[in-house]
Amino acid sequence: MFTVRSASRLKSVCLALLLLAIGLGSIAVPQPKLALAAGTTYYFSTTGNDTNNGTSVLTPKQSITAANALLSAGNTVLFKRGDAWYKNSVDSVNGTGANIGGSLILYGRKGTLTNPITIGAYGTGAKPMISTTHLLDDAGWIYDGSSNRWKHALPSNTDALRLFVNGVSKYKVNTTNSSANETHVDQTYEWYINPTTGWVYANSGSSASGPKNVELILASNAAPVSMGNTEYVTVQNLDIKGGVVSVDSPSAHITIDNNTIRQSNQTGIRVYNSSTTNFTAHVSNITITNNVIDKVWTTYENDPAIFLSGDGIYMHDAAEGGLIRGNKIVNFGHSGIELASTISTSYHGVHHVIVEQNDVSAGDSGYMHAFGVYGLPGETTDNMIRRNYFHNFTSVSHAGGSDNQFYSNIFAGVKLTPQPKHSQQPYALDIAPWGSMEARDLYIVNNTFLNTDHFSIQVTDYNAAPSNVTNNVIANNIFGQYGFNDNANGAIGEVALDVSNAVTGTLYVNNNAFWDSSSNVARFKDISRSVLYDIDGLNSCPHTTPDTCDANLKVNDPGFVDYANRDFRLSASSLVKASGTNAYAAALGSGFVDFYGNPWHPTTPSIGAIQYGPAAPSNLSAGRAPSYSSTVLYEASPSNLTDGYTTYYVGVGDAHERVYAQIDLGALYDVSKVKMWHFFSDGRTYKDVIVQLSQTADFSSYVTTVFNNDKDNSAGQGYGVDSEYAEGAGGKTVSFQPILARYARFWIGGNNTDPYNQFVELQVYGTTP
């Protein structure tokens, strides 16, 4: 459920159209009407020239160096869509051989409220690429004599950390086997570098043709975007590759919006304080919205002998006021989103950050927390984690610090990590501080926890300080399909709630719904791990006062609309749709709404992340004949695509052509789900499956991409992070928060069986806005 991707950021001065797409779509917010900036707009293209004035698309400048020189108050620097600036990009257009790539450096650059500094894109097509990866010349590969292994010389003897071929990462053969060398590169997913000789080796799978489009992250790699002592800067609409977007303290009023940030070695976006003297310096009012943040990873890289690392968004010790909204985060080796203060109470800490509507998953990473919120006493406080979709990750998310709120989130699918070097904790969430950290006055309210290999929530205290875990609320949550028994490995996870006897502080467990066939739902502060409690035993709040444990219930089925496809809205027959409590609404404030943004019912609120009540979406596309991007049609009438039957297919386009079918819904609707079928009788997988929604027929504005598995952007619609899937009779369902749209485009570009495209049935679901 809720696989989404953002497209353009929506702006309106007169009316803010709240287009809510779980982290996953564009979000329109009211924009203040400011005086026109006093600066100049400069255009850049790889075919430009730095001797040009740059003030017109007809006279663009060229190099990143020239762009950095123009980053002053009021100025806007725009890069041409479809162009790529690599670390070693050379000015071949003007015949100078000069390097035109590099990092965007904003240290000491300060805009103002009325004259900000803006970096963005112009033109049409793919986002302009700013990359600090080293791009190897395709013509430089030499066959190494056997096993389809090729080698390429580097400009100087150096080391490299990662290698990508056509955007796909490969496994370095000497990662843990220090004796491995080029002779071990006998599979297409492997590579090796010899820094002494300056040769890099890769396997193309062919002895006749070498690898193409190969990039390296060198050991000396710089951050593609870096700033510090920076104010009023917006970075938007870029494809940023090869490293971290780094925001050092002190900085203020930074916006990072609608970028693709990928192929890093560690972190995607870092907000921190590097000072060794000014510990209280911090970054204030930072906005991180609508980005795709992907480390890019393959299962081959999950070497069980190494620790995986890296956070999608990393805020450590130095943030005051921030918004992390609408981002798609995948494939990191530590956490998707990290808000933490662990160095010293001398640092500023992380405070007043809102994390909402993000889609976070582990992807192919063998170890990843969805999020971590924790800190030393008083250091990580007053943050809100709400209305996010955390799914398919492999290790527990941490709820800690103090006065932090976690509500209206969906946790679905937490599997046991295959990485034995890490702690194996396949729980959705824990309240479990370690070291000298705290976990107090936390609200875990109105979340939905489903499909966890062990517990839904664990509460314990690894800290020697007594009562460091206290006054925490766990209420109005749905817990379901949790746990398995693995006694041989010391894992006992057949209950939803696991509270250890190390917790001596107050805990409130109220109005939660437990969905399980077993009678036992919890452990509660017993020394013996073998003591289990059924729902009545939990409600008696064993052993402790002043804990309160009441009104918890066990259900045979919560009554989700479409559990199999992760549509966790509550049906009319749901037993929990009106059994919640509003006891915590005042404490959570005016922003306390459900996953979709609906207010909770004043007297009979629902349990779980989604409020029952709004009309169920209907099939808006039924009988509406699609139009096509290609005039080449085969086999059947185009209207068969929306007739409700999965019997006939429509072949569209020539071989290897990337095409789309477009449906006009006739009016604006709140669209929240699409279903699609392609030819499926042989279980084939289709390439470049992309689904976009728009308010305009030409998709020139108000565009949201809700699904995209085009990993190399070959369709030119943006880099995709969703997985390929086998076509089946049940089709593919993609659900998301409502997006205001009239038009839907469904792209495909061939499949693994033949180079042709076959649509079978397309459906778009929504309600009247």
> pLDDT per residue over 280-333, tens digit each?
999 999 999 999 999 999 999 999 999 999 999 999 999 999 999 999 999 999
**Which of 121, 39, 34, 104 lies closest to 73, judged by CA?**
39
Are 199 and 231 in the same domain?
no
- pLDDT at position 10, please? 29
Are 159 and 282 in the same domain?
no
Q: Kind and range of the H or E element at 538?
A: helix 535-539
- pLDDT at position 493, please? 57
Rounded CA-CA distance 571/553 in Å is: 18
Mind listing the pLDDT tens digit for each residue in 636-646? 576 788 999 88
Q: What one-letter code names the amino acid at 493?
A: G
Percentage of the chain beyond pLDDT 70 is 93
- pLDDT at position 6, please? 37
Are 490 and 576 in the same domain?
yes
Rounded CA-CA distance 286/227 in Å is: 12
Rounded CA-CA distance 72/566 in Å is: 47
Rounded CA-CA distance 515/428 in Å is: 15
Are 334 and 456 in the same domain?
yes
Rounded CA-CA distance 195/506 in Å is: 57
Helix (H, G, I), strand (E, B) or coil at 21: coil
Higher pLDDT, 485 or 345: 345
Q: What one-letter code names the amino acid at 103?
A: S
Residue where a domain terminates, one of 218, 237, 263: 218
Which segments within 597-682 are labelled E, that is strand?
618-619, 627-628, 633-634, 650-652, 659-678
Residue 649, in any domain of the structure? yes
Helix (H, G, I), strand (E, B) or coil at 602: coil
Residue 662, in any domain of the structure? yes
* pLDDT at position 197 over 50: yes
Helix (H, G, I), strand (E, B) or coil at 201: strand
Q: Averaged over 554-569, what is the pLDDT?
A: 92
Are 506 and 557 in the same domain?
yes
Phi (first) and psi of residue 89, to 5 degrees: -65, 135
Buried b / exposed e across 230-252, counting CB within 10 Å, b at 16+? bbbbbbbbbbbbbbbbbbbbbbb
Residue 93, in any domain of the structure? no
- 8 A C-beta contact, residue 263 and residue 299: no
- 8 A C-beta contact, residue 289 and residue 269: no
DSSP string for 446-481: S-EEEEESS-SEEE---SSSTT-EESEEEES-EEEE
> Domain range holding 254?
225-588
Number of domains in the chain: 3
Distance, first Cα to last Cα, the chain:
21
Rounded CA-CA distance 222/244 in Å is: 8
- pLDDT at position 583, please? 92
Query: Tokens 């479990």 identify what position?
Result: 432
Rounded CA-CA distance 411/389 in Å is: 6
- pLDDT at position 360, please? 97
- CB-facing half-sphere around the CA of 97: CA atoms within 13 A: 0
* pLDDT at position 708 over 50: yes
**Which of 59, 43, 9 lies closest to 237, judged by CA?**
9
Query: Tokens 């396997």 identify what position?
Result: 203
Maximal C-alpha separation, the chain: 81
Query: What does the block give as tokens for 74?
Result: 């009021």
Long-range contacts of 88-95 (CB under 8 A, 24+ apart): 88/134, 88/135, 88/155, 89/46, 89/135, 91/62, 91/63, 93/46, 93/47, 93/49, 93/62, 94/49, 94/62
Rounded CA-CA distance 120/81 in Å is: 10
* pLDDT at position 25 over 60: no
- pLDDT at position 466, please? 64
Rounded CA-CA distance 604/585 in Å is: 12
Rounded CA-CA distance 166/131 in Å is: 14
- pLDDT at position 16, please? 30
Handedness of CA 756, 759, 765, 768 (dihedral sign): positive
* pLDDT at position 73 over 90: yes
Q: What one-letter code names the amino acid at 191?
A: W
Q: Which residues pair with 286 in a beta bridge?
A: 254, 322
Q: Averaged over 607-621, what is the pLDDT?
A: 91
Query: What does the block give as tokens for 409?
Result: 């989130």
Rounded CA-CA distance 625/643 in Å is: 9
Residue where a domain terminates, one of 161, 187, 218: 218
Mind listing the pLDDT tens digit for each residue in 142-176? 999 999 999 999 888 889 999 999 999 999 999 99
Are 380 and 245 in the same domain?
yes
CB neighbourhood size of 654 (10 A): 12
The domain that holds 483 is classified in CATH as 2.160.20
- pLDDT at position 37, please? 59
* pLDDT at position 65 over 80: yes
Query: What does the block give as tokens for 89?
Result: 């990009």
- 8 A C-beta contact, residue 150 and residue 142: yes
**Which of 284, 234, 238 lies closest to 37, judged by CA?**
234
- pLDDT at position 465, please? 65
Higher pLDDT, 613 or 57: 57
Q: What one-letter code names the amino acid at 684?
A: R
Are 308 and 255 in the same domain?
yes
Higher pLDDT, 638 or 438: 438
**Which of 759, 754, 724, 752 lies closest to 655, judged by CA?**
754
- pLDDT at position 546, please? 72
How far is CA 224 from each of CA 123, 184, 235, 745, rounded to the nearest angstrom? 22, 32, 12, 33
| Beta strand pairing call for 349-356 and 380-381 | parallel
Grade residue 635 by pLDDT with cuts at 50, 70 and 90.
low
Are 495 and 544 in the same domain?
yes
The domain that holds 709 is classified in CATH as 2.60.120.260
Mean pLDDT across the chain:
90
Query: What does the block give as tokens for 277?
Result: 């003297």
Residue 728, in any domain of the structure? yes
Phi (first) and psi of residue 509, to 5 degrees: -125, 100
- pLDDT at position 157, please? 80
| Beta strand pairing call for 497-499 and 457-459 | parallel
Q: Averaged over 432-459, what is the pLDDT?
A: 95
Are 623 and 750 in the same domain?
yes
- pLDDT at position 516, please? 81
Query: What does the block give as tokens for 130?
Result: 């700013």
Helix (H, G, I), strand (E, B) or coil at 504: coil
Residue 119, in any domain of the structure? no
Are 234 and 205 in the same domain?
no
The CA R_g of the chain, rounded to the nearest whole Å, is 26
Q: Kind and range of the H or E element at 534?
A: strand 533-534
Query: What does the block give as tokens for 555?
Result: 């259900």
Handedness of CA 585, 587, 588, 591 (dihedral sign): positive
Mind listing the pLDDT tens digit for each residue in 487-528? 444 444 579 999 999 998 899 999 999 998 778 999 999 998
- pLDDT at position 9, please? 30
Mind listing the pLDDT tens digit for each residue in 376-424? 999 999 999 999 999 999 999 999 999 999 999 999 999 888 888 888 8
Question: ∠ CA 684-686-690 to the nearest 5 degrees?
Answer: 150
Grade residue 27 by pLDDT with cuts at 50, 70 and 90.
very low
Percentage of the chain beyond pLDDT 90 is 74
Residue where a domain terminates, one of 218, 243, 265: 218
Residue 112, in any domain of the structure? no
Are 297 and 334 in the same domain?
yes
DSSP string for 284-329: EEEEEES-EEE----GGG--TTS----EEEEEESEEEEEEEES-EE
Q: Averaged over 662-673, what is the pLDDT?
A: 95
Q: Averaged over 431-450, what is the pLDDT?
A: 96
Residues whose CB falls within 8 Å of the CB of residue 146, separated by 6 or more in sequence, listed in order: none
CA 731 to chain CA centroid, Å, is 24
Rounded CA-CA distance 470/724 in Å is: 44
DSSP string for 575-621: SSTT----TTHHHH-TT-B-TTSPBPPSSSPPSSSS-S-SPPPEETT
Query: Tokens 């009021």 identify what position?
Result: 74
Phi (first) and psi of residue 197, to 5 degrees: -90, -20
Mind listing the pLDDT tens digit for each residue in 534-548? 999 999 998 876 779
Are 233 and 202 in the same domain?
no
Q: Averaged over 464-489, what is the pLDDT?
A: 79
* pLDDT at position 366 over 60: yes
